[in-house]
Structure 1
Amino acid sequence: MSAALRAALAAEGARLTNLGLSPGASGNISVRDGDTVLITPTGRPMGGLDPKELSVLALDGTHLAGPRPSKEYPLHLAFYRRDATAQAAVHLHSRHATAVSCLPPWSPRSAVPPLTPYFVMRVGQTPLIPYAAPGDPAQAAALERLPFACRAALLQNHGPVTSGPSLAAAADAAIELEEVCALLLLLGGREGRLLAPGEAAGLAERYGTPWDTSQ
């Protein structure tokens, strides 16, 4: 893994922490480089990552180098195995997205409705994955087996996980998901205006994000 890629991962971890999205030692971030994955070590705060002290995994989960990886690494590998365009993944315990993960989902394919254009543009449909203990590989397997496209998910009673074609895109998706979840909670259960199906479909087509127009 190049020094530049290691530095970029540490920088994104610091950015998310500075935004208040990674409290304590929670959260993990990874980036793919061919058939290997660079990921945060277990128990390390994302705001103070040492680029030289990161874990390296194979796509099958084999630990190749560095400290012991985060126990959530199966979630990251699930995105890489199901989507060849995924080059980075972020898992957070951000407050508002975690709160929404404790609520019933809006639809079978997205826990979050099309409340804002930027949610559809930067994240897309975000299914709710049934609860499992943190690090349970069965939950990652459930994510990997989803029969429809998605670049993000909410883990029930746990928090968000996002992916993207770059580190910045995966982190930006996590930020946007947190923002739309905050707006959803601000509505307090009131019925707000959602994007019309044609409006959401047009944005998804234009920006290349997954969105089922039947939702």
Structure 2
Amino acid sequence: MSRAESTLREEICSLGRSMFDRRLTPGSSGNISARLDDGWLMTPTGSMLGELEPDRLAKIAPDGTHLSGDKPTKETFLHMAVYEVRPQTEAVVHLHSSYSVALSVMEETDPEDALPPITAYYVMRIGKLPMVPYFPPGDKGLADAMRPVFKDHKACLLANHGPVVADKSLRDAVGAMEELEETAKLHLMLRGIPVRTLTPQQVADLRERFPI
């Protein structure tokens, strides 16, 4: 095993534990993947992000073959769909974080863009948040629905399920996921209160200066 792979395994476990300890995803929900030179690392199916072990992470070959470690997450297909259409992606994080899940079940949520531009950092780290229609757990149709979304965006919300974020590093993906969850929390806290969101011009300026 290369030093780079060993370091990445440790980072997946450390960041997974951090998100779990801060209750960003409950129980055995949520999964993480990260790109290697010779494939991907995936969190195992049924695992708690707070109890990951570096040598038990699943290693996946470029052709999708399970090479070593425990059986990978049953949502491996979800991660692979993102890598397929977004080649610049180095890591994908999917959580069942409470505020984002709440957003995903609200009738008023706009499927074209689930969150308003409340802060500059949300626009810089997430940009726009489309919502993919509901699919039962394990339904491969979800991957087909996600591919066109991730061609143009780095994150999406899965209806009645939770958020998915892709980024240029694992640490960046985790940071963007936290920004998304905090923005969802703010959005729900501010319901019924007049809010001054960023203007379209302010959003356009941020997107030009900080392309996703």
Task: Tell me if the contact between 2:111 and 2:132 (Cα under 8 Å) persists in the aligned partners.
Answer: no
Shift of 1:42: 0.4
**Which residue is equivalent to 2:79?**
76
- Root mean square deviation, CA, Å: 1.7
What is the one-letter code of the residue matched to 2:147? E
**Which residue is equivalent to 1:33?**
36
In the alignment, does 2:26 pair up with 1:23?
yes
Percent of pairs with identical residues? 43
In the alignment, does 2:90 pair up with 1:87?
yes
What is the one-letter code of the residue matched to 2:20? T
Q: 2:50 aligns with which of 47, 50, 69?
A: 47
Measured in 2, the distance between the counterparts of 1:139 and 1:58 equals 22
In the alignment, does 2:145 pair up with 1:142?
yes
In the alignment, does 2:198 pair up with 1:195?
yes
Shift of 1:38: 0.3
Pick which of 97-106 and 119-128 moved more: 97-106
Normalized per residue, which structure has more helix?
2
Aligned pairs for 1:1-215 within 5 A: 2-104=5-107, 107-146=110-149, 149-209=152-212
Measured in 1, the distance between the counterparts of 2:142 and 2:192 equals 29
TM-score scaled by length of structure 1: 0.91
**Which residue is equivalent to 1:213?**
none
Measured in 1, the distance between the counterparts of 2:94 and 2:206 equals 25
Paired residues, number: 209
Change (3 A) 1:142 1:14: same
Which ranges in structure 1 are unaligned for 5 or more consecutive residues?
A: 210-215
Pick which of 59-68 and 71-80 moved more: 59-68
Which ranges in structure 2 are unaligned for 5 or more consecutive residues?
A: none
TM-score scaled by length of structure 2: 0.92
After superposing on structure 2, the runs of 4+ consecutive aligned residues of structure 1 that deviate more than 6 Å are none
